[in-house]
Amino acid sequence: MRISFMRTPRHRKFHHAPIYYDKAKEERAERERKIREELGIISEEDKKRGPGERIRGKMRQRIKSGFEVNRSEKKKSNIRLIIILMALMILFYYLLNVGYEWYSTLLQ
């Protein structure tokens, strides 16, 4: 048996069951809307819908996924690292040359 003075809290689970949700009805309405859209038929219900209904899901398409963001950030970071290393190598080479010239003047 393990005795512990400090108890670590356990994670909590969140479960939300929607009250008025019919998946089949929503899918059917979406299919009907797409068919009407293809045929060019605009119903009164579509005209009354607010901008939130028309925009739903569009933001997800515009936002990059986590993988794409990470890949682009890693690429930028690598390029920045290469530029810094090149600048340091140039600075080191310059300091070596200046130091060698200064050292050679001291010996003469």
Tokens of 67: 């993988």
Do 72 and 85 have their domain in common? yes
The mean predicted confidence, pLDDT, of the chain is 77
| CA nearest to 26, candidates 48, 53, 50 | 53
Q: Is the pLDDT of residue 74 over 90?
A: no
Structure pTM? 0.37
pLDDT, residue 86, reads 97
3-class DSSP assignment, residue 87: helix
Do 75 and 103 have their domain in common? yes
Q: Is the pLDDT of residue 7 over 80?
A: no
Alpha helices (H) along 2-65: 23-39, 44-48, 51-55, 58-62
Q: What is the span of the domain harbouring residue 32?
A: 23-63
The domain tally of the chain equals 2
Sequence-separated (6 or more) residues with CB below 8 Å from residue 72: 64
In whole angstroms, what is the distance from residue 73 CA to residue 82 CA?
14
Do 40 and 57 have their domain in common? yes
- Computed over its alpha carbons, how large is the radius of gyration of the chain? 32
| CA nearest to 59, candidates 51, 67, 50, 71 | 51
Q: Where do we find the tokens 């963001």?
A: 69
Do 57 and 69 have their domain in common? no
